[in-house]
Structure 1
Amino acid sequence: MSLDKENGPLLRVKGLEKRFNLDQGFLESLKFSSGKLTRETRAVHAVNNISFDVDRGDAICVVGESGCGKSTVARMVAGLIAPSGGEIHYDGERIDGLRGKDLLPLRKKIQMIFQNPYASLNPRMTIGQTLAEPLRYHNPSMSKGALQDKAAAVMKSVGIDPAWGARFAHELSGGQRQRIAIARALTVDPEFIVADEPISALDVSIQAQVLNLMLEMQEAHGLTYLFITHDLSVVEHFGTKVIVLYLGSICEVADTQTLFSNPKHPYTKALLSAVPQLKDDRSNHIRLKGEIPTPINLPSGCPFRSRCPLSDARCASEKPMPLQKDDGSVVACHAVEEERVDALNWV
Structure 2
Amino acid sequence: MATPLIQISHLEKAFASNQSWFSQWRIDRGKLRRKKDKVHALNGVNLTINQGETLCVVGETGCGKSTLARVLMGLTAPSKGEVHYQDQRIDHLNDRQRMLFRRRMQMVFQNPYASLNPRMTVYQTLSEPIAFHNPQLSAKQVEEKIRPLLESVGIAPSNMDHYPHEFSGGQRQRISLARALSVEPDFIIADEPLSALDVSVQAQVLNLMMDKQEEHNLTYLFITHDLAVVEHFATRVAVMYLGRVCELASTKTLFSAPKHPYTQALLSAIPRLDNNTTQPIRLMGEVPTQMDKPIGCVFQARCPYANPRCYAESPDMIRQPDNSSVACHAVDEGRL
Q: Same fold (TM over 0.5)?
A: yes
Q: Equivalences for 1:60-209 in 2 at 5 Å?
A: 60-209=55-204
What is the match of residue 345 of structure 1? none
Letter of the 1:183 counterpart: A
Kept in 1: contact 2:192–2:223 (CA 8 A): yes
- Does 1:45 pair with 2:45? no
8 Å contact kept, 2:14–2:38: yes
Q: Does the alignment pair 1:231 with 2:226? A: yes
Kept in 1: contact 2:265–2:282 (CA 8 A) = yes
Question: Which residue type is aligned with residue 301 of structure 2?
Answer: S
Instruction: Measure how far apart 1:34 and its partner are.
Output: 5.1
Superposition deviation, residue 36 in structure 1 = 3.5
| Length, aligned pairs only | 335
Out of 264, 289, 296, the position equivalent to 2:291 is 296
Q: Residue 31 of structure 1: CA displacement?
A: 2.5
Quote the Cα distance in structure 2 between the aligned partners of 1:333 and 1:61. Answer: 20
Give the deviation of 1:40 after TM superposition: 3.5
- Taking the aligned partners of 2:298 and 2:166, their CA distance within structure 1 comes to 46
Amino acid at match of 1:86: G
* Maintained 8 Å contact 1:8/1:92: no
How far the C-alpha of 1:22 sits from its partner, in A, is: 2.4
SS in 2 for 1:307: coil
Quick one: distance in 2 between partners of 1:317 and 1:334?
Answer: 11
- Residue 14 in 1 paired to residue 9 in 2? yes
**Structure 1 spans left out of the alignment, 5+ residues:** 1-5, 342-347
Deviation of residue 141 (structure 1)?
2.6
Match of 1:222 in 2: 217
- After superposition, give the CA deviation of every residue in 1:149-202 in whole Å (9 maximum; x if it has no partner): 111111011111111101111111110110000000000000000000000110
Equivalent residue number for residue 335 of structure 1: 330
Contact 2:2/2:51, CA 8 A, preserved across alignment: no
After superposing the two structures, state which structure 1 stretch, 249-258 or 299-308, moved more: 299-308
Q: Is the 8 A contact 1:158 1:179 kept in 2?
A: yes
Structure 2 runs not aligned, ≥5 long: none
Q: Which residue of 2 aligns with 1:283?
A: 278
1:260 pairs with 249, 255, 264, which one?
255
Return the alpha-carbon distance in structure 1 between the equivalents of residues 155 and 60 of structure 2: 34
User: What does the per-residue CA deviation read over 1:103-130, in whole Å, with 9 as the maximum and x for residues that have no partner?
Assistant: 1110000000000000001111111111
Instruction: Tell me the distance in 2 between the aligned counterparts of 1:171 and 1:275.
Output: 36
- 1:38 deviates by 4.1
CA contact (8 A) 1:23 1:42 kept: no
In the TM superposition, what is the alpha-carbon distance from 1:21 to its structure 2 partner? 1.5
Residue 33 of structure 1: CA displacement?
3.0
CA distance in 1, matches of 2:23, 2:79: 21
Show the counterpart of 1:3. none
CA distance, structure 2, for counterparts of residue 208 and residue 60 of structure 1: 18
CA contact (8 A) 1:13 1:88 kept: yes
Match of 2:309 in 1: 314
Distance in structure 2 (CA, Å) of the matches to 1:282 and 1:226: 34
State the AA in 2 paired with 1:240.
T
> What RMSD, in angstroms, separates the aligned Cα atoms of the two structures?
1.8
Question: Among the aligned pairs, what percent are the same residue?
Answer: 54
Q: Distance in 2 between matches of 1:133 and 1:248?
A: 35
Match status 1:58 vs 2:53: yes
Question: How far apart in 1 are the matches of 2:28 and 2:100?
Answer: 50
Q: Secondary structure at the match of 1:54?
A: strand
1:49–1:311 Cα change, 3 Å: same
Question: Residues of 1 paired with 2:293 and 2:43: CA distance?
Answer: 10
CA contact (8 A) 2:315 2:328 kept: yes
Whole-angstrom CA distance in 2 between matches of 1:55 and 1:300: 31
* Range 129-138 or range 60-69, more displaced: 129-138
1:65–1:246 Cα contact (<8 Å) kept: yes
Q: Tell me the distance in 2 between the aligned counterparts of 1:143 and 1:262.
A: 55
Q: Using structure 1 for the length normalisation, give the TM-score.
A: 0.93
| Farther-moved stretch of structure 1 (132-141 vs 111-120) | 132-141
